[in-house]
Structure formats: C-alpha cells, structure tokens
Amino acid sequence: MQTQTETASPAGGARVSGLDDGPRCQIVRTLDVIGEKWSLLVVRDALRGRSRFSEFRDSLGASTDILTDRLAKLVAAGVLEKRAYREAGSRERSSYHLTESGRGLALVAGAMIQWGDTFNPYPGGRSSRVVDAATGAPLRLAFVDESGQAVPDSSAAIVPGPAARTTW
Amino acid sequence: MQTQTETASPAGGARVSGLDDGPRCQIVRTLDVIGEKWSLLVVRDALRGRSRFSEFRDSLGASTDILTDRLAKLVAAGVLEKRAYREAGSRERSSYHLTESGRGLALVAGAMIQWGDTFNPYPGGRSSRVVDAATGAPLRLAFVDESGQAVPDSSAAIVPGPAARTTW
DNA sequence: AGCCTGAATTGGAAATTCCAACCGAGACCC
DNA sequence: GGGTCTCGGTTGGAATTTCCAATTCAGGCT
C-alpha cells in the first residue's frame, strides 16, 4: 500500500527537498516499501536465494505485470539491486539481488514467520525456519537490551519518539 | 492481502477440517491476517492503547466502512477482542482490545519500526521508539540463540522447514 | 529471413478502496 | 410522545488496484 502522501521520486530517484519527506510513522514508511501485494513475498523469495524474473514468477504465481511493477519499485526503494547476467546462448537478462537494506528485511520476515508459528500455525508444520547460518542452531527473534540480552516480549513497549504527534 | 486460498471461516469462526488449513508459508499466513490495507495500522494504534472505533477512525483517517471491515476481520482472526463499554450518559458501545495473539504482533511492528529507522528514516526523527516498559531503556529487535543472546543479523538464515515444498 | 524464448506491455474484467451521504439505536429535551 | 443530536455502522457509486490472457518485443538461434 502506498500512502496518500506518496513519495514519488522525481524521475531520477534522487530526492531533492530535505524536509517533509513522507510520513513520519516508521511502520507507514516501511509499508510504503513492502506493503503492496506481493512485495514482501518477492523479498522472501530473494532471502531464499531467488533472483531471476522467472524464478519469482514461477514461485509466486503472480502475474507478470505486477511482478514487473513490484521489482521496479523494490529496486527504486533500494531494497533490490538490478544486475545483468547472461546465460550461455541467451541474451542478456536482469537479475535482482538484495541490498543491505533488503537483507535487513529478514527481521520483518522473521517476525512474521515467528508470529505465524506461535499464533497461527499451519497444522502440517513449518515451511520456514530461522537458523544460525554457521551452526544451524535454531534462532528466534526477540527484543534485546543494550547488552544484547533478550528480554521478555511483555516488557517491550512502543512509545512516542521525538517526531511523534498526536495524529502520527 | 488475502490469499487465493482464502481461509474463509465457516460462519462460526471455528475450523472443522484439520487438513489443508490454508497456505503453508508462515509469511503468507501472517499476511492473510494483517496484510490488508489498514490492518496493521489498526494493530499499531491498539499497541499504543487505542481501543475505540472513533479513536481508530480519527487517528488513521481511514473511511468507516473499511475500518468496520478490518476490525471485524481482526476480531475473527483472534487478534482483537470486542468488548462492550458504556460511557456515562451514552449508550453501550464496542471497544477493541489486543489479545495475546495481537500483542504478539508487536514483534512485527517492532521489526518494521527498526527497519524504517535503519534504512528509510524520516529526516525529522522517529515517531516511535521501543523501550523496556519498566526501566525505559531502549530496546532493539534481534535474532537470539537458545540462551537468549543476540547474534549478528548477518548470521541468521531463513531455511526450509519440515513442511516446505519447492513452490511454497 | 523465420523461429523460439522469455520479459514486458496491453486491454478488459474483477476485486478492493475511497468518499460522501444516509441509517438507526439510544440519550436527551420539551 | 415527538423532535433532535450523536456516533457506530451501512450503502451506493466512482476511482484505483489487481487479475488474467493475449500480444508485443528484443535478442539468439538455425
């Protein structure tokens, strides 16, 4: 979903004004990037290593017109990076790879996976797990204090920050 | 967003069959609950303590028809709980409160807040922060190992689980 | 040239969202 | 009782978004 105060970059993608740069609420800002239908699922696939148009299309079952649109928007938002590749005997094509920003969305994906596991599980078991890439040990997502120690979910509170206003 | 394999509960909300209970992917399952426009923002408001129809309407600026729809769906999904309340000299009205499952979505909200802060910040500062409710100390979201110790984001990997298939 | 493949585009149907006007139950007043 | 106000909620129709299938287009191949 895009906000009414849409952040339409002026053609080049570079921003001009430094003030009033879209909505204040971080959740709304994040949803402006990944809130449209299919966007986060493209990221999910990318986190699993997929990178080609055909891979996304076959995996997601989304129609090609919206896939084209979502890929372009994710590239414009800096979540994906477009690269050229060439398969032997084929013309040059584009592949899409997560940027640092895109890899950061693993936190969002992980949160959804964990919530689903906990509160809305599929009876047949989990389709994804989060593990330590090096050791294979299971990981979970938690709020941690400054020392990196997990605190109970119940002690975390979302409170207004400096830029808060009564109406978000 | 709702999946094509929509999980339309048969009137009562209770499920009958135990097999093939919607999509396997936890992210898709979670998006089926909070992926529609406005849904997560209702939850965000609820996490901030709002509970009444008028509070959501005024805060979100969403039209009342979709707000009615989203509140009903969140109640049906078990994220919100509908209660009756009566203000002095007014008729009985309904308020909407987070359930345990709804409070669990703080993880998803927190992940989006943190990603926004890190990769897509509002130049004027943050509108929300996550803190320890008791001490007020800032918290962040991280993947932790079984001992509750945070690991670097880069060591977390999303891998196929028991119910994985090639096409999700 | 002609054919094949795969990404991208187009056109029209379907679904979703938006907006504004309207409804109706209860509270209040006379 | 009748009138009016308030506020969740509903309704009707326009606008936007998504869906689906067919088509186009660029490049490599024979």
Interface of A with B in 61-80 (CB under 8 A): 61, 77-78
- Give, rounded to a whole angstrom, the gap between the first and last alpha carbons of chain A: 17
Determine the distance between A82 (CA) and D10 (C1') in angstroms: 47
Instruction: Tell me which residues have their CB below 7 A from strand D.
Output: A 2, 36-38, 62-66, 69, 88-92; B 1, 4, 52-54, 57, 63-65, 68, 71, 90, 93-94
Question: Domains of chain B (ranges plus CATH)?
Answer: 26-155 (1.10.10.10)
Contact B124 A27 (CB under 8 A): no
What pLDDT score was predicted for residue A1? Answer: 46
Q: pLDDT by residue (tens digit) across B14-66? A: 444 444 578 889 999 999 999 999 999 999 999 999 999 999 999 999 999 99
Question: Is residue A118 a contact partner of residue A127, using CB atoms and an 8 Å limit?
Answer: no
Question: Is residue B67 a contact partner of residue B32, using CB atoms and an 8 Å limit?
Answer: no
Q: What is the mean pLDDT of each run of 10 residues along chain A (168 residues)?
A: 40 43 90 96 95 94 94 95 88 93 97 96 92 96 97 94 72
Q: Which two tokens stand for residue B156?
A: 């977390």
On the question of pLDDT at B8 being above 80, the answer is no
What pLDDT score was predicted for residue B13? Answer: 38
Kindly list the residues from chain B whose CB atom is less than 8 angstroms away from the CB atom of residue A73. Answer: none
Identify which of A28, A59, A127 has the shortest CB distance to residue B24.
A127
Identify which of B126, B133, B159 has the shortest CB distance to residue A156.
B133
Interface of A with B in 118-147 (CB under 8 A): 118-134, 137-146
pTM: 0.87
CA–CA separation, B120 vs B139, rounded Å?
19
CA–CA separation, B61 vs A31, rounded Å?
16
Output the DSSP codes for A105-141: THHHHHHHHHHHHHHS--TT--SEEEEETTT--B-EE
Q: Assign B2 a pLDDT band (cuts: 50, 70, 90).
A: very low
Q: pLDDT by residue (tens digit) across B111-140? A: 999 999 999 999 988 999 999 999 999 999
- Judge whether B30 is closer than 8 Å to chain A, CB to CB: yes
Which of B9, B32, B127 to substitute to test the interface with A, most A CBs within 10 Å?
B127
Q: pLDDT by residue (tens digit) across B57-111? A: 999 999 999 999 999 999 999 999 999 998 888 888 999 999 999 999 999 999 9
B32 to A9, A51, B40, B60, B70: CA distances (angstroms): 30, 25, 11, 21, 12
Q: Which nucleotides of D are covered by protein (CB under 7 A)?
A: 7-12, 17-22, 26-29
Instruction: Tell me which residues have their CB below 7 A from strand C.
Output: A 4, 52-54, 57, 63-65, 67-68, 71, 90, 93-94; B 2, 36-38, 62-66, 69, 89-92
Contact B47 A158 (CB under 8 A): yes
What pLDDT score was predicted for residue A99? Answer: 96
A82 to A64, A76, A94, A130, A140: CA distances (angstroms): 17, 10, 6, 26, 31
Q: Residue B26 belongs to what H/E stretch?
A: helix B26-34
CA–CA separation, A147 vs B139, rounded Å?
10
**Which neighbouring-strand residues pair with B92?**
B86
CA–CA separation, B18 vs B167, rounded Å?
22
Q: Which nucleotides of C are covered by protein (CB under 7 A)?
A: 6-11, 16-21, 25-28
What pLDDT score was predicted for residue B167? Answer: 59
Identify which of A119, A121, A168 has the shortest CB distance to residue B127.
A168
